[in-house]
Chain A
Amino acid sequence: MTRVQRARFIQTLAVGITGAAAVFIIAAALFLLVYIVVRGLPGISWAFLTESPSGQMKEGGIYPVIVGTLYLIAFTALFSLPVGVAAGIYLSEYAARGPATRAIRLAISNMAGVPSIVYGLFGLALFVILLDFGKSILAGALTLACLTMPVIITATEEALRQIPSDLRQASLALGATRWRTIYRIVLPAAGPGIVTGSILGLSRAAGETAPILFTAAVYYKRQLPDSIFSDVMALPYHIYILATQVTGRPDDIIWGTALVLVAGVTLLSVLAAAWRSRQRRKVRW
């Protein structure tokens, strides 16, 4: 082979390998999705979505399970969004570059790297036992909020960083304070990015089992939760229970539950993406 032929061969090989990797990813994602839909769809019915489990989990629907997860996510959002967005604003707009800020950033990326089961143990120790919230929506949502916070902080910081410094300068030069500049100019422009990033963080929390294992989720509960101190059933934990603890359970129920969880999370991401692209068309620079 001449040098040119060899170069051309390597070029073809590079296209082939990188392309194959891309195709593999798409195929894996598609397979996963299609498999869940095919296995789950037969179990989905109006009754499945609106009835409680019965017959020792082998019959009935998952209505309280869905409600439990919705409560958990709503309260997780309530706890993590204000703090996460505020911390992101502080880091992006106010914090001076220095060792303290570097330490905060390091802490945040460490928080993001902690395994979720460790958050579960942490939540058990702090919220369930020490603060005596018991196994409850409150304890579970606080634990999930710890898990989601770094994602929201990072998303907020990234979104704020996208806003040209021109705009901040223009506002400051008109006699606006830093805070007015942030809430009138910077935040509205960064809103779509913050919301999208936060929703991705929250949808990850929706699918987590480990953090709620000791802090919120129960095997079976007859009534719907009536306060934030109630324990709840939750989709990921329900799947885990069905898969490991219930012998002779029908496949339809377990795959149907999985499909509901995946569909819910996907719906959130799609809504976030659609909203963002609408905002993008409205605001550009």
Chain B
Amino acid sequence: MVTENQQTIRGSFELKDVSVTYGVETAIAGVSMDIPPNAVTALIGPSGCGKSTLLRCLNRMNDELGNATVGGRILLDGVDVYAKEYDPVELRTKVGQVFQKPNPFPMTIYDNVAYGPRTQGIRKRAQLDEVVERSLTRSALWGEVKKDLKKHAFELSGGQQQRLCIARALATEPEVVLMDEPASSLDPISTQQIEDTIAELKENVTIVIVTHNMQQAARISDLTAFMLRETMEAPAFLVEVGETRAMFTNPGDKRTEAYITGRFG
């Protein structure tokens, strides 16, 4: 099924009837959607609606929680990433993640960015130098830190730390970058910088972003998926997914309209 087009542009997800169960409790159920390559897809919805849980399915970070079971099928460029023989460690080099709180490693800026490539066995200094510069440039941090690459990452401001984390995720040349409310702990200026970075990144990578901020979703995403958990007894589900502009001007579902106009959540 692989066409020439899919070989050049990679990083598309197909979700088919995806569910997540923690122990006996089903957190989300019946999510089917396509995530197109080289675009920003926003997951929105009130707290506890399973946005982050769904995001963590895409790089199998739910595996690390021990008692989570994922049902349905998740295909990355047509390949089932939950197939038995599929190695989650390999998946995570293709699908990177940026977390809610900046979480640089307690080491230098350079070593933070080089961590992923080194994990993949790249040892040559020149090659690492190049990856570090390219990644930091893509996350719009290079200009600020190029003279201080040996500085400890904790000396950076919160916004800089988050852009460092984006550079770190980009250093493994992923096809997809997952972002879990990447700007929620940042001030408005840093948030603006992160959003600008996302807009530039989507030329080369697929971005899936969880956000609480409606304006942010409207500003940066091409596609928006609205999730909801109506009662604590029933699992969360996908209400609708569509082009962001259409969704925000003319939502197809009353619940979506109520949420994006701020009547609940």
Q: Do A and B come from one complex?
A: yes
CA distance A180 to B90 in the complex (A): 14
Q: Is the CB of A174 within 8 A of B99?
A: no
Q: Is the CB of A170 within 8 A of B96?
A: no
**Interface locus among B10-18, B36-44, B73-81, B112-120:** B112-120
Would A174 and B115 be within 8 Å (CB), given that A96-B66, A169-B64 are in contact?
A: yes
Contact with A along B114-129 (1 / 0, CB 8 A): 0110011000000000
Which A residues are CB-close (under 8 A) to B59? 173
Asked if B92 is at the interface of the complex by the 8 Å CB criterion, the answer is yes
Which B residues are CB-close (under 8 A) to A96? 66
CA distance A283 to B101 in the complex (A): 18
Q: Nearest A residue to B100 by beta-carbon distance?
A: A166
Which B residues are CB-close (under 8 A) to A166? 99, 101, 103
**Interface locus among B165-173, B188-196, B209-217, B228-236:** B165-173
Which A residues are CB-close (under 8 A) to B120? 175
Contact with A along B163-187 (1 / 0, CB 8 A): 0010011001000000000000000
From A169, A172, A284, residue with most partner B Cβ within 10 Å: A172
Q: Is the CB of A174 within 8 A of B96?
A: yes
CA distance A283 to B61 in the complex (A): 27
A177 to chain B, nearest CB (A): 6
Which B residues are CB-close (under 8 A) to A177? 89
Which B residues are CB-close (under 8 A) to A173? 59, 61, 92, 96-97, 99, 169
B 105-152 contacts with A by CB, 8 A: 105-106, 115-116, 119-120
CA distance A174 to B113 in the complex (A): 10
Q: Nearest B residue to A176 by beta-carbon distance?
A: B119
Which A residues are CB-close (under 8 A) to B165? 170
CA distance A148 to B101 in the complex (A): 39
Interface of A is mostly: helix
Asked if B19 is at the interface of the complex by the 8 Å CB criterion, the answer is no
B 31-89 contacts with A by CB, 8 A: 59, 61, 64, 66, 89
A 159-180 contacts with B by CB, 8 A: 164, 166-167, 169-177, 180
A 56-72 contacts with B by CB, 8 A: none
Contact with B along A29-71 (1 / 0, CB 8 A): 0000000000000000000000000000000000000000000
From B59, B64, B103, B165, residue with most partner A Cβ within 10 Å: B103
Q: Is the CB of A169 within 8 A of B90?
A: no
Q: Is the CB of B89 within 8 A of A176?
A: yes
CA distance A149 to B172 in the complex (A): 40
From B99, B104, B105, B168, residue with most partner A Cβ within 10 Å: B105
A176 to chain B, nearest CB (A): 5
CA distance A176 to B169 in the complex (A): 12
Which B residues are CB-close (under 8 A) to A188? 106
CA distance A52 to B146 in the complex (A): 63
Which B residues are CB-close (under 8 A) to A172? 61, 64, 92
Q: Is the CB of B61 within 8 A of A174?
A: no
Q: Which of A167, A175, A180, A189 contacts B103 (CB 8 A)?
A: A167
Q: Is the CB of B106 within 8 A of A174?
A: no
Asked if B224 is at the interface of the complex by the 8 Å CB criterion, the answer is no
Asked if B93 is at the interface of the complex by the 8 Å CB criterion, the answer is yes
Q: Nearest B residue to A168 by beta-carbon distance?
A: B64
CA distance A177 to B169 in the complex (A): 16
A 89-108 contacts with B by CB, 8 A: 96-97
Contact with B along A131-171 (1 / 0, CB 8 A): 00000000000000000000000000000000010110111
6 residue pairs of the A-B complex, CB under 8 angstroms, read A97-B66, A170-B103, A171-B105, A172-B61, A174-B92, A180-B119
B-to-A contact residues, CB < 8 Å: 59, 61, 64, 66, 89-93, 96-97, 99, 101, 103-106, 115-116, 119-120, 154, 165, 168-169, 172
The 7 nearest A-B residue pairs measured at CB:
A175-B93, A166-B103, A173-B97, A175-B92, A174-B116, A283-B106, A176-B119
Other A-B pairs beyond A173-B99, A173-B169, 4, CB < 8 Å: A169-B64, A174-B92, A175-B91, A176-B116
